Amino acid sequence: MDILAKPEFAGRRVVVVHHDDLGVSHAANVAHRALTRFPSGSIMMTTAWAAEWAGDTDHDLGVHLTLTSEWKSPRYRPITCGPSLRDSRGYLWPTVEEAWAKIVAAEAEAEMCAQIEAALALDIDVTHIDAHMGVVLRPDLAEIYHRLAREYRILAFLPDPVALGHMQLPATVAATLQSMTRASSLPKFRPVDGYSGPPNTRADWLSDMLSALEPGLYHFIHHAAITTPESQAFPDWETRQADFDALQARGVNAVLDKCVLTTYRELRDMLRDAGEL
């Protein structure tokens, strides 16, 4: 199914406003519940606060597949026992480069399945998967990631081939991924992520960026969290507060009013009803 051929989407900017890193802190979970206009997000099932989403039926929730743990604190361990998933202290690898160099595909598959099953065990209606730090873009892991979406009859965040061309990936990796995404019948998204921008201009940046989007299907990433002593333990806490503030700003919402806001649940159900998922 060509999602953008749907009459309600044709010629429009169709946007999933997506909250990454749910469960990473209570502060992130509180922020997501406060941003009622934007129900989509994905949960890191390796974190202490993932269980706070148990039984939730109000939000469009996926699994933020986690094979890396980048902070000095807190750090996360895999759910499964695969030795290739762990550094010398038993934690997930801190960088994508180390994860790509060390992880055995079969052990990564077992871990990804375990994280999805952990969400299902909490009675979460899992609508999609995406990946923390993009670690599943290693081609053999990407094939597993895509296959799991089909097996669980859910969506996966798949960057469209044009977007992949703009990502900083090794040429051979980008070519393999472009071939895979072109062949997939799942929807492809253009990613939008302002994480690296300065917090003090976040609302203006978002307004300008959203205004400049062409018609298409977008996965717009944010990491909103309220400021608490807990959230201030994260080095990027100001960025997370800036996301929370910007998504409530009048100018940002005025631009989003001119877009079509959708969710992974809506898109998943469209494909299931059409017999394509």
Among this protein's residues, is 160 annotated catalytic?
no
Classified as helix, coil or strand, 155 is strand
Task: Answer whether 61's CB lies under 8 Å from 41's CB.
Answer: yes
**Domain edges within the chain:** 3-66+127-273
Q: How many CB atoms sit inside 10 A of residue 110's CB?
A: 18
Among this protein's residues, is 20 annotated catalytic?
yes
User: For residue 86, what are the β-bridge partners?
Assistant: 92
Query: CA 266, 139, 105, 135 torsion: positive or negative?
Result: negative
User: Which tens digit of pLDDT belongs to each residue from 209-239?
Assistant: 999 999 999 999 999 999 999 999 999 999 9
**Fold (topology level) of 3-66+127-273:** TIM Barrel (3.20.20)
Task: Answer whether 131's CB lies under 8 Å from 250's CB.
Answer: no
Of the listed 20, 21, 60, 243, which one is catalytic? 20
Least confident segment among 15-24, 169-178, 240-249, 266-275? 169-178
Enter the pTM of the model. Answer: 0.96
Residues 6+ apart with CB under 8 A from 146: 156, 158, 180, 184, 186
pLDDT-derived band of residue 73, with 50, 70 and 90 as boundaries? confident
Residues 6+ apart with CB under 8 A from 86: 77, 78, 92, 93
Q: What is the CA radius of gyration of the chain?
A: 18
User: Which tens digit of pLDDT belongs to each residue from 105-147?
Assistant: 999 999 999 999 999 999 999 999 999 999 999 999 999 999 9
Of the listed 146, 219, 223, 243, which one is catalytic? 223
Mean pLDDT within 233-258: 96
Mean pLDDT within 178-198: 89
Phi/psi region, residue 243 (left: phi>0; alpha: psi -120 to 50; beta: rest), is alpha
The predicted pLDDT at position 168 comes to 75
Q: Amino acid identity, residue 235?
A: P
Mean pLDDT within 52-66: 97
Q: Amino acid identity, residue 212?
A: A
Rounded distance, CA 81 to CA 83, Å? 6
The rounded percent of the chain whose pLDDT value lies above 70 is 100
* Spacing of C-alpha 167 from chain mean position: 16
